[in-house]
Structure 1
């Protein structure tokens, strides 16, 4: 940060608050979009690590452009280097690779980016920006001189404009949230409409697997007649969310629609109306509703696209999407294919933490559903991939949530699993996936009340989720432990309507029916369970993991006549 000490001396509180706002609104979302990892902050600066030099330069350009076009009032210098580092026990990085980046940052122009020759060799020709040779620099405490290059653009244009008028679509899900239209007829209500867009953009940016265009770029379209295809092309995104806000008579109505910018097809549309009592609570509630509604829709559309793509053109992200589709089938063959696809994705990108977590999940589900011919092997594989995911990415909430659930089922470390899942919720309270996993963790740990609350939140966020059967079964099993058998049956029947071939549904129904003395229905559910899982026995089911606290469920299965 340029002149930070002087700014603090003049207006300490305002400077501190402004810098924190800058980190929240610009720096952290940019890091997330470009898969950067914040290592530490130093009061007036920050150190971050990236998977590639290209990602680092793109992120730096976006941050500097955001400072130019925004109203933050700060200037920054950025230095970028490529080199080996030493990872400390607390995750901090050390070594000459870091020291060179720090020294380059100190030599950069105000509002500029200075890179080492190693970085230039990796990014030259891949970005539509120029590089000015600053010659060899003798850096403090660095033995050999380092050749440095300044990233430059045209005199009157931001750097990002020169990276490409029509950037290619990223491999992962991508979205821009356009300014919402103020329909209230009151110019003073403009702040509320803009605030809603900022809240939704921030919530979406917490999903690491989602590429979200920064507010500064989206707001260049404010007040203009737009063509969605043109917006998608210019911003390089597949999906565009637009909407309107109307406030009147103590109520607010927000209408939103999600559009596929490539095909111009409407993917989702809905209207939300709330009492205008607590403005901040209202923004949180609507943000959760919108984000929870659109994400499954986008993901489902992206999975369909990936499954149609030619195998030779697949990326690690495409393989992840295909694996998730196979997993959703909840079949022996589907899980085997999901594991194969996840392994292929990790061969392409060994640092893809979420895929490692998915591989761990797939092996766990093989064991739980009785599909494993060698349960000990799959259990060990689940734990191996769990550790893999944790070692490469312990800060992504979705990865954290998945590993927490696997830990609860396969390791039985409930205290650690609860700590992990609650940290995942704190990192991203708008993820229905995280709340779903939290429900299973708490159910497995023997806390059914908290499990039900989590499942209810997950369902509220994604009422039409493709894997609703998992959620309903989890809800039903937790309800059984509270002796709410009628409600458990309702949850089981909902799961059945969604997927009649999911064997776990029949655990829930057989037990709940038996507890209510509905013997014929209990036996029918038990028979269907044995058709889908012929090797099922109560003792084997307990040994598979995660059922040690399901005492009433176990009692119900015995009453239903299932083999011991």
Structure 2
């Protein structure tokens, strides 16, 4: 490519010259370049979608034109630097900014990459898009769909003969859509589109195809006197298989409170089930040409195994996802939190440099999307590990303002409140987390952190009960066993304490009171730490 002027620049110079303007040449046609429902007018320097102009900056237009001239081919970063910046020295951030602007103009983003794909270690590619009314097939995505999933919520059906449930059904549909849309990693089809699709077809598979949805949510309302039953299903559109279904039976009191409660529960539980489904989908993909979304999901699988080795694998996969797509914010947040967990739960060294890196990663995630509740949750946990207690609570409060259905944030806030001595508030947050997401991959921690709060409050029987429940979750970490040992030590139950110690030492043979004190470096109140350590001592931990 060398220092050759860009195609757009050549056209501009040609139009400004006094010579006769050529409307086309063999190698550099100046007619509109069309892809999908877009066209680039190289004479007017205009991007149009369905015939309507789309605002776009000149350099972004140049970049998009270069990608369009090479549609279907991966163009390297070096080629783009040469073509668009004419070999001037510019940062990778400048290119990332232009790619982000081009995607925004096309209604694309770095998560879905439906139009502009990032090719790991290579560059970028404008996908061959399906032309409306044409015969060309859309470009197949390597290894299946890449990018964040799309979901459509069908209008809730009223099963009442007299139609009394119709108003509730309509309101419930809107509330569920609103609640689900707070999950920034999920593309939710707007209500108006969902209603139009539902009216146009009775076939769920056809609705899913028309919407381009990966998942469908179908629901119904049935009233009987003062009782109401709301049933919700999550359907995978690939095979129309029901992934999750639940019925909620309630008394009719305040219809708005009822709709809000059900929408919160449905959103939280659907988010958990969708997260698991996306992880399973990524695990089935071939390892070639994995996108940032798939790498993030594979890393999340490792994250939830809660072992030292899986934590390190998670960190590697998150770094690969960031390298694949630096504009995708979620891997930054998960990597930051994984680093903190390594210091607390595993064998990672706690030092200021690693704490600073974790903070920087969490903040970079928010730089890409400051409305992402998951990133704010991670920031709150990083702040706690840095003993920045008020900042931790502030971040988690903001996370819950953005998405009150996120069980993790309720748990994280409860943990921070416990260290402030606000035990009753903390326990309420843990209870909310458990109710919102009873099958959450992190549910052992909801119970384990709650047991610690009861322990700090001197409620040793409750502490033992919740710690025991936590240990029964398959992926529970050994710290749940440690909480149980401490609670039983305070209760003076020697037989159960001996059994709990045996289970703890099978998982962590070198567990001692000194080890526990070193790993609980973030506990604010020395008296709380002493309560925990004293329970271990009474139980017989050296």
TM-score relative to the length of structure 2: 0.72
Please name the residue that 2:257 is paired with. 281
Q: Does 1:561 find its partner at 2:540?
A: yes
Q: Does 1:458 find its partner at 2:437?
A: no
Q: Deviations over 1:430-462 (max 9, x none)?
A: 122222222222234443222211111111111
CA distance in 1, matches of 2:208, 2:291: 22
User: CA 1:402 to 1:374, structure 2 compared with 1: closer, same or farther past 3 Å?
Assistant: closer
Please name the residue that 1:154 is paired with. none
Structure 1 segments unaligned to the other structure (5+ residues): 1-53, 59-63, 66-76, 85-96, 98-115, 128-149, 152-159
CA distance in 1, matches of 2:279, 2:177: 22
Please name the residue that 1:521 is paired with. 496
Deviates more, 1:333-342 or 1:166-175: 166-175
How much does 1:527 deviate? 4.1
Q: Does 1:489 find its partner at 2:489?
A: no
Please name the residue that 1:181 is paired with. 157
CA distance in 2, matches of 1:514, 1:443: 21
Please name the residue that 1:90 is paired with. none
1:132-151 alignment runs, 5 A limit: none
TM-score relative to the length of structure 1: 0.70
Please name the residue that 2:318 is paired with. 342
How much does 1:226 deviate? 2.4
User: CA 1:237 to 1:539, structure 2 compared with 1: closer, same or farther past 3 Å?
Assistant: same
CA distance in 2, matches of 1:270, 1:301: 17
1:239-250 alignment runs, 5 A limit: 239-250=215-226
Contact 1:82–1:118, Cα closer than 8 Å, also in 2: no
Please name the residue that 1:235 is paired with. 211
How much does 1:478 deviate? 0.9
Q: Does 1:324 find its partner at 2:300?
A: yes
Deviates more, 1:169-178 or 1:307-316: 169-178
1:160-179 alignment runs, 5 A limit: 162=132, 171-179=147-155
CA distance in 2, matches of 1:434, 1:462: 12
Deviates more, 1:365-374 or 1:195-204: 365-374
Q: Deviations over 1:289-343 (max 9, x none)?
A: 2112222112112111111211113111111111111111111110110000010
User: CA 1:349 to 1:448, structure 2 compared with 1: closer, same or farther past 3 Å?
Assistant: farther
Q: Does 1:215 find its partner at 2:194?
A: no
Q: Deviations over 1:441-494 (max 9, x none)?
A: 223444322221111111111111222211111111111112222222221121
Please name the residue that 2:268 is paired with. 292
2:288 aligns to what SS in structure 1? helix
How much does 1:269 deviate? 1.2
How much does 1:414 deviate? 0.8
CA distance in 1, matches of 2:235, 2:405: 21
CA distance in 1, matches of 2:64, 2:498: 67
User: CA 1:485 to 1:266, structure 2 compared with 1: closer, same or farther past 3 Å?
Assistant: same
CA distance in 1, matches of 2:475, 2:70: 54
User: CA 1:391 to 1:223, structure 2 compared with 1: closer, same or farther past 3 Å?
Assistant: closer
CA distance in 1, matches of 2:256, 2:155: 18
How much does 1:374 deviate? 6.5
Please name the residue that 1:358 is paired with. 334
Equivalent in 188, 191, 195 of residue 167 of structure 2: 191
User: CA 1:418 to 1:363, structure 2 compared with 1: closer, same or farther past 3 Å?
Assistant: same
CA distance in 2, matches of 1:83, 1:187: 55
1:75-474 alignment runs, 5 A limit: 80-82=55-57, 162=132, 171-187=147-163, 189-223=165-199, 226-372=202-348, 378-408=354-384, 410-474=385-449
Q: Deviations over 1:215-256 (max 9, x none)?
A: 111101335652222222221111101111223412322111
Q: Deviations over 1:101-140 (max 9, x none)?
A: xxxxxxxxxxxxxxx666566679989xxxxxxxxxxxxx
Deviates more, 1:450-459 or 1:500-509: 500-509
1:313 aligns to what SS in structure 2? coil
1:529-544 alignment runs, 5 A limit: 529-544=504-519
CA distance in 1, matches of 2:187, 2:133: 17
Contact 1:397–1:425, Cα closer than 8 Å, also in 2: yes
User: CA 1:81 to 1:359, structure 2 compared with 1: closer, same or farther past 3 Å?
Assistant: same
Structure 2 segments unaligned to the other structure (5+ residues): 1-34, 40-48, 73-104, 107-129
How much does 1:271 deviate? 1.4
How much does 1:161 deviate? 10
CA distance in 1, matches of 2:191, 2:134: 19
CA distance in 1, matches of 2:458, 2:509: 28
> How many residue pairs end up in the alignment?
432
Q: Deviations over 1:533-557 (max 9, x none)?
A: 3443334433333333333223212
2:472 aligns to what SS in structure 1? helix
User: CA 1:350 to 1:473, structure 2 compared with 1: closer, same or farther past 3 Å?
Assistant: same
CA distance in 2, matches of 1:376, 1:531: 31
1:222 aligns to what SS in structure 2? helix
Contact 2:444–2:476, Cα closer than 8 Å, also in 1: no
User: CA 1:225 to 1:119, structure 2 compared with 1: closer, same or farther past 3 Å?
Assistant: closer
1:253 aligns to what SS in structure 2? strand
Q: Deviations over 1:386-434 (max 9, x none)?
A: 33334433321111012101211x2111111111101111111112222
Contact 2:226–2:252, Cα closer than 8 Å, also in 1: yes
2:249 aligns to what SS in structure 1? strand
Please name the residue that 1:135 is paired with. none
Using CA pairs below 8 Å that are at least 6 residues apart, which structure has the higher relative contact order? Answer: 2
Task: Output the aligned Cα RMSD.
Answer: 3.2
CA distance in 1, matches of 2:522, 2:133: 50
Contact 1:170–1:237, Cα closer than 8 Å, also in 2: no
